[in-house]
Amino acid sequence: PPPQPAPVESTQYPYLIRRTYTYTTMSAGDSQPVVIESINAQTYHPPKREPHHPEPHVRDIAQYQELYKESIEDPDAFWGKLGRELLDWHTPFTRVTQGSFEHGDIAWYTDGYLNACYNCVDRHALKTPDAPAIIFEADEPSEGRIVSYSELLREVCKCANVLKSLGVKKGDTVAVYLPMIPETLVTLLAIVRIGAIHSVVFAGFSAESLRDRVLDADSRVVITSDEGKRGGKTIGTKRIVDDALKECPDVEHVLIFKRTGNEIPLVPGRDKWWHEEMAKFPSWCPPVMVNAEDPLFLLYTSGSTGKPKGVMHSTAGYLVGAAATTKYVFDVHPGDRMGTAGDVGWITGHTYIVYGPLLLGAATLVFEGTPAYPNFSRYWEIVERHKITQWYVAPTAIRLLKRAGDHHIKHDLSSLRVLGSVGEPIAPDVWHWYYEKVGRGKCAVVDTYWQTETGSHVLTPLPHAIPTKPGSACLPFFGIQPAIVDPVTGEELVGNDVEGVLCFRKPWPSIARTVWGAHERYLDTYMRPYKGFYFTGDGAGRDHEGYLWIRGRVDDVVNVSGHRLSTAEIEAALIHNKAVAEAAVVGVPDELTGQAVMAFICLKSGYENNEAFRRELILQVRKSIGPFAAPKALLVVNDLPKTRSGKIMRRVLRKLHAGEPLGDTSTLQDESVIEHLIEVIQQAN
């Protein structure tokens, strides 16, 4: 490793130590690590606790280390205790952990029985019926409302009765295609109350994507709304469902929540209004007890290959992970009001809008709108109005607000204690802005690294306990054993100052148990690439102090505004067009969205490259995946860089676009393509 300069005390901030060092990075396909960047790593010690704030759950680094050691040395004792503390059980478990990555038979709390909805709603409704459960902020600032725990219980019970009347039974999957409204949480909780499995499809996905997910999960019931409202615009939600269901003959019922009341067509016999059905049933429905390992939900996510994977989470392990991380990472205390500005369509919403906060009996924000509507103050208005205690958002939103200007923050943000970041790396300047302008130097910033598959945070600081470095996800959560692995040899790189791919050694409670209907694919994707480890798909480094830095995906997954996309899926959408002979999609750095989609296209002979054609192609991607997957740039080229065996070298495209040295190109079939590509890229800039 290069020699490290001595730390310099900052004069501006007494709590800050400056260090500069260079790091090397490696990605799959590179045989040599290359030094690519030098960053300024600064250590922030946890801000001092304000006298009126509660005593943090983890006091200091020593206590973190002690708990961490316990969690690794005796996982049965550690997770057994948390399982009993955080959840109520119908039949208590006597076994804690079993199974391994290698055999793909991971299981936790196997002889325990419980109900997820009971744990999220009933037990709080009995103890604190009037406490707020949901803080709803509608798209229009004046249209929100608060839902108490007792009200939530009544709504959930009614909805569970409706589902039963539609024939939904334990083990059935129910597709949910809804905007961010309280009824979305009511729906999910009602589904798990009767032992069924929810499969939420983000309402920004296209009809084709929805169709594929409904078919793969074999859902017979779909729950949606007439329309959605976001950023002052109306979205034709039900229309998309109608398109999707044209090719889903097994869907028997569509339950529609009336959000806007605009006229929509109904399919007789299939479509039913939420309010009419809810009015037919009493507001009590007994919860169905399920085994700890019974499935709780499916959530589809993109991988390296085209077809999305139905990631399956089981009940108890997932709930323990969600509750434990919400408690420790956000330092949630009774009476807290957690503000996760995400969408239930992604894992962040599942774990930190629905399950985590409700398991702890806290209030959770459901925000229908965007950070820019009606203006850039919207987030801070919400924080002030509801005295939000934790704020959790993706860096893409923070970048947007930083760019909009500091003058939009003119609110009382003193209720905030913890600020979270999720979904993509947060650049140090954005981290600083968040820390200084939103946190006023008084809140801990937690950069949480995790995935749909991990279920809950795996790398993260703990507020008050772990000193942070902007841009680093810091240290492992309890029970997590990260390993940096050499992508070429598959050997673990031990010690500090190492770069490789990120893996985990040993299962934790909330890790996904399978890919729905494709267990081999689960093993192939996560368990087999590096024997004995779970493979994340991310590159990562461990610095000289043992802090972990995520470098981004090493597979063909791009991250646009924290949305995970598969390049193969976008390529498949492009090739759909009759004029396209070949397509290669890469993720390129983007100031606002983190990464942006860039497509390289080869045309079939006889087709012309013009503006209208390029627009048509972009529309094709929006239609087959969703608007957020649309390429930002589309370049028509004569040829693509390929290996002798004909594989497209996306790495070469990425490096050409970035103007970086290409490295080893000896495997290129035809070197002359490089010059042509440089020319096209330069013309486009």
**Which of 295, 345, 420, 423 is the binder for ligand WT7 (CB under 6 A)?**
423
Output DSSP code: residue 87.
Answer: -
Q: Are 445 and 422 in contact (CB under 8 A)?
A: no
* Least distance to ligand WT7, CB of residue 528, Å: 18
Rounded to whole angstroms, the Cα distance separating 6 from 655 reads 33
Alpha carbon 154 to its chain centroid, in Å, reads 30
Q: Are 251 and 270 in contact (CB under 8 A)?
A: yes
Nearer to ligand WT7, 259 or 553 (CB): 553
541 lies in the binding site for ligand WT7 (CB under 6 A)? no
Strands (E), 166-232: 173-177, 197-200, 221-225, 228-230
Task: Please give the residues from 156 up to 185 whose contact with ligand WT7 meets the rule CB under 6 A.
Answer: none
Rounded to whole angstroms, the Cα distance separating 6 from 260 reads 61
422 lies in the binding site for ligand WT7 (CB under 6 A)? yes
User: What mask of x and - would describe binding to ligand WT7 in positions 336 to 375, judged by CB under 6 A?
Assistant: ----------xxx---------------------------
Binding residue count for ligand WT7, defined by CB under 6 A:
24
**Which of 550, 570, 583, 601 is the binder for ligand WT7 (CB under 6 A)?**
550
Nearer to ligand WT7, 179 or 425 (CB): 425
**Which of 424, 499, 543, 569 is the binder for ligand WT7 (CB under 6 A)?**
424
480 lies in the binding site for ligand WT7 (CB under 6 A)? no
Q: Are 156 and 283 in contact (CB under 8 A)?
A: no
537 lies in the binding site for ligand WT7 (CB under 6 A)? yes
**Which of 71, 237, 314, 448 is the binder for ligand WT7 (CB under 6 A)?**
448
The two structure tokens encoding residue 1:
């490793």
Query: Which of 155, 345, 176, 197 lies closest to 253 in space, CA to CA?
Result: 176
Nearer to ligand WT7, 377 or 472 (CB): 472
**Which of 553, 650, 651, 657 is the binder for ligand WT7 (CB under 6 A)?**
553
**HSE, side-chain direction, 13 A CA sphere, residue 578:** 2
Nearer to ligand WT7, 313 or 408 (CB): 313
Nearer to ligand WT7, 447 or 556 (CB): 447
**Which of 132, 339, 420, 425 is the binder for ligand WT7 (CB under 6 A)?**
425
Backbone angles phi, psi at 380, to 5 degrees: -75, -30
Rounded to whole angstroms, the Cα distance separating 74 from 86 reads 18
538 lies in the binding site for ligand WT7 (CB under 6 A)? yes
468 lies in the binding site for ligand WT7 (CB under 6 A)? no
- Binding segment for ligand WT7 (CB under 6 A), chosen from 43-51, 74-82, 245-253, 444-452, is 444-452
* Least distance to ligand WT7, CB of residue 451, Å: 4
564 lies in the binding site for ligand WT7 (CB under 6 A)? yes
Rounded to whole angstroms, the Cα distance separating 440 from 380 reads 13
Q: Are 183 and 191 in contact (CB under 8 A)?
A: no
* Least distance to ligand WT7, CB of residue 458, Å: 9
Q: Which residue stretches of 406-494 are H helix? A: 428-433
Q: Are 261 and 228 in contact (CB under 8 A)?
A: no
Q: DSSP letters of 391-423?
A: EEE-HHHHHHHHHH-GGG--S--TT--EEEEES
Q: Are 574 and 585 in contact (CB under 8 A)?
A: yes
- Binding segment for ligand WT7 (CB under 6 A), chosen from 32-40, 136-144, 329-337, 417-425, is 417-425
CB contact burial 279-296 (16+ within 10 A = b; e otherwise): eebebebebbbbbbbbbb
Q: Are 252 and 221 in contact (CB under 8 A)?
A: yes
Rounded to whole angstroms, the Cα distance separating 130 from 134 reads 11
- Binding segment for ligand WT7 (CB under 6 A), chosen from 10-18, 83-91, 558-566, 582-590, is 558-566
- Binding segment for ligand WT7 (CB under 6 A), chosen from 57-65, 98-106, 547-555, 615-623, is 547-555
499 lies in the binding site for ligand WT7 (CB under 6 A)? no
452 lies in the binding site for ligand WT7 (CB under 6 A)? yes
Nearer to ligand WT7, 287 or 471 (CB): 471
Residue 643 three-state SS: strand
Q: Are 597 and 560 in contact (CB under 8 A)?
A: yes
Beta bridge mates, 391: 339, 419
* Least distance to ligand WT7, CB of residue 449, Å: 4
Nearer to ligand WT7, 425 or 470 (CB): 425
* Least distance to ligand WT7, CB of residue 113, Å: 29
- Using CB atoms within 10 Å of the CB of residue 519, give its burial: 0 to 12 exposed, 13 to 18 middle, 19+ buried: middle
**Percentages helix, strand, coil for the chain, rounded to the nearest 5?**
30, 25, 45
Nearer to ligand WT7, 235 or 473 (CB): 473
The two structure tokens encoding residue 101:
């990555």
Nearer to ligand WT7, 242 or 447 (CB): 447
291 lies in the binding site for ligand WT7 (CB under 6 A)? no
Nearer to ligand WT7, 431 or 478 (CB): 431
449 lies in the binding site for ligand WT7 (CB under 6 A)? yes
Rounded to whole angstroms, the Cα distance separating 431 from 647 reads 39
Nearer to ligand WT7, 463 or 562 (CB): 562
Nearer to ligand WT7, 264 or 540 (CB): 540
Rounded to whole angstroms, the Cα distance separating 190 from 160 reads 5
Angle at 40 between CA 34 and CA 43, to 5 degrees: 125
398 lies in the binding site for ligand WT7 (CB under 6 A)? no
* Least distance to ligand WT7, CB of residue 595, Å: 10
- Binding segment for ligand WT7 (CB under 6 A), chosen from 76-84, 164-172, 551-559, 649-657, is 551-559
* Least distance to ligand WT7, CB of residue 425, Å: 4
**Which of 314, 377, 559, 566 is the binder for ligand WT7 (CB under 6 A)?**
559
- Binding segment for ligand WT7 (CB under 6 A), chosen from 27-35, 89-97, 193-201, 419-427, is 419-427
- Which helix (H) or strand (E) segment holds residue 325: the answer is helix 315-329
Rounded to whole angstroms, the Cα distance separating 287 from 285 reads 6
Q: Are 29 and 448 in contact (CB under 8 A)?
A: no
Nearer to ligand WT7, 377 or 460 (CB): 460
Q: Are 240 and 209 in contact (CB under 8 A)?
A: no
* Least distance to ligand WT7, CB of residue 426, Å: 7
301 lies in the binding site for ligand WT7 (CB under 6 A)? yes
**Which of 382, 473, 512, 515 is the binder for ligand WT7 (CB under 6 A)?**
473
The two structure tokens encoding residue 406:
């500091």
536 lies in the binding site for ligand WT7 (CB under 6 A)? yes
447 lies in the binding site for ligand WT7 (CB under 6 A)? yes
Alpha-carbon distances, residue 245 vs 169, 219, 629 (angstroms): 21, 11, 22
303 lies in the binding site for ligand WT7 (CB under 6 A)? no
- Binding segment for ligand WT7 (CB under 6 A), chosen from 108-116, 152-160, 314-322, 421-429, is 421-429
The two structure tokens encoding residue 610:
């013009």
- Binding segment for ligand WT7 (CB under 6 A), chosen from 263-271, 397-405, 420-428, 673-681, is 420-428
Backbone angles phi, psi at 43, to 5 degrees: -105, 125
Residues in contact with ligand WT7 by CB under 6 A are 301, 346-348, 422-425, 447-452, 473, 536-538, 550, 552-553, 559, 562, 564
